[in-house]
């Protein structure tokens, strides 16, 4: 149980993203005007883009991971739009090559002289914002459970699958704790499957990243999601600390109204391309 298995094309791992697409995702996120549905769609698209770039080589993106994106709202199923619509686990190379579209977005970057300059970057889109229906989180976790169980049976030595749930936390089909626990009972030779949660909330509360206690969390939904989340493996805590996030020994894979794309940087696929300081 070391979370140190080599991630390779011969021994790939998998990611299952769960995206809350319920009607309550129409509400704005705390402290900002952006709708929660837009926040989670942006987060998923950035996660998929970062994962693709991380695994990119000159001949294409290597299939170090297979990826599913399941939406849950008026129904539970694939949240991919475009060529991948309707599919569950997809090799990462196909994800990278088949976004629904590639948008151009303007972002500000340092100009090297202490200021900022606007530049245009490519922003691939696989998932659009959706907000419709109830919040069948238990059903979605059960689907993830099935995908992870099948994956682990076929890849018993792989780096454990990671399930990342993006939600406003208000499950409408029961207490999700049991279904969340079931996901984490699937074990490879390298450790148990990991369940992380991103909670987007309308409450204007202080953002929290990888806490080791639920004391500072503002509502019962956040505390439930915290309790469902896996402990961060040691190497992930180390990388979080490197990024300036104080992740303690009991830090959990839980983020409240904050960025979770750093999770991609917690994955080891070989020598890290770091700059000298």
Partner 1 sequence: MFTATLRVPKRGNTERECEDAGRVRSADGTVLAAVADGASESLLAGEWATLLTDSLLDSASDVLRDAESFAAGLAVAGLAWQAWLDDYVVGREAAGRPIAWYEQPKLDRGPHATVLAARFGAGRWEAAALGDSCLFQVRDGRLVCAFPLDQANAFDNAPPLFNAFNRDTVLLARHVRIAAGTTEPGDGFFLCTDAVAEWFLRENARGGRPWRVLRGFAGDLEGFAGWLDAVREEGLMRNDDVTVVHVDLG
Please give the residue ranges that form the binding site for partner 1 (CB under 8 A): 6, 8-10, 49, 52-54, 56-58, 60-61, 96-97, 102, 122, 124, 268-277
Q: For partner 1, which is the closer residue by CB, 56 or 231?
A: 56
Q: For partner 1, which is the closer residue by CB, 189 or 206?
A: 189
CA 173 to chain centre: 22
Contact 173, 133 (CB under 8 A): no
Residue 40, helix vs strand vs coil: helix
Closest CA to 20 of 162, 131, 163: 131
Least distance from C-beta 90 to partner 1, angstroms? 15
236 vs 81: CA distance, rounded Å:
31
Least distance from C-beta 92 to partner 1, angstroms? 10
Q: For partner 1, which is the closer residue by CB, 154 or 272?
A: 272
Least distance from C-beta 249 to partner 1, angstroms? 21
Q: For partner 1, which is the closer residue by CB, 48 or 76?
A: 48
Residue 243, helix vs strand vs coil: coil
Closest CA to 81 of 69, 65, 96, 64: 69
Least distance from C-beta 61 to partner 1, angstroms? 6
Least distance from C-beta 141 to partner 1, angstroms? 30
Closest CA to 27 of 208, 159, 202: 202
Burial class (CB in 10 A: 0-12, 13-18, 19+), 154: exposed
Q: For partner 1, which is the closer residue by CB, 195 or 232?
A: 232
Q: For partner 1, which is the closer residue by CB, 9 or 178?
A: 9
Question: Which residues make Cβ contacts (< 8 Å) with residue 248, sequence separation at least 6?
Answer: 212, 237
Q: For partner 1, which is the closer residue by CB, 132 or 265?
A: 265
* Four-CA torsion 46, 47, 49, 50, nearest 10 degrees: 110
Q: For partner 1, which is the closer residue by CB, 84 or 130?
A: 84
Least distance from C-beta 65 to partner 1, angstroms? 13
Q: Which residues, listed in sequence order, are joined to residue 133 by a DSSP beta bridge?
A: none
Place of tokens 């970062």: 50
Contact 97, 49 (CB under 8 A): no
Q: Provide the b/e sequence for 48-60 (b: ≥16 CB within 10 Å).
A: bbbbbebbeeeee
């Amino acid at each position: 149980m070391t979370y140190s298995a080599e991630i390779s094309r011969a021994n790939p791992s998998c990611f299952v993203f769960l995206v809350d697409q319920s009607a309550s995702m129409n509400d704005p996120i705390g402290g900002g005007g952006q709708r929660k549905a837009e926040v989670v769609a942006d987060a998923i698209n950035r996660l998929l883009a970062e994962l693709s770039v991380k695994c990119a080589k000159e001949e294409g993106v290597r299939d170090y991971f297979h990826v599913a994106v399941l939406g849950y709202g008026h129904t539970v199923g694939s949240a991919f739009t475009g060529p991948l619509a309707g599919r569950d686990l997809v090799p990462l190379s196909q994800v990278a090559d088949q976004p629904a579209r590639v948008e151009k977005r303007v972002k500000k970057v340092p100009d090297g002289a202490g200021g900022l300059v606007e530049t245009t970057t490519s922003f691939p889109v696989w998932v659009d914002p959706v907000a419709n229906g109830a919040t069948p989180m238990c059903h979605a976790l059960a689907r993830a459970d099935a995908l992870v169980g099948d994956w682990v049976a076929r890849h018993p030595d792989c780096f454990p699958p990671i399930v990342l749930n993006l939600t406003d936390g208000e499950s409408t089909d029961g207490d999700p704790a049991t279904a969340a626990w079931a996901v984490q009972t699937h074990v490879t030779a390298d450790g148990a499957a990991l369940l992380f949660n991103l909670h987007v909330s309308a409450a204007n509360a202080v953002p929290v990243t990888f806490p080791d206690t639920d004391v500072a969390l503002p509502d019962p939904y956040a505390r439930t999601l915290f309790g469902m989340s896996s402990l961060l493996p040691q190497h992930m805590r180390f990388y979080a600390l490197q990024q300036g996030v104080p992740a303690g020994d009991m830090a959990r894979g839980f983020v409240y109204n904050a960025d979770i794309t750093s999770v991609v940087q917690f994955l080891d696929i070989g020598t890290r391309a770091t700059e000298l300081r």
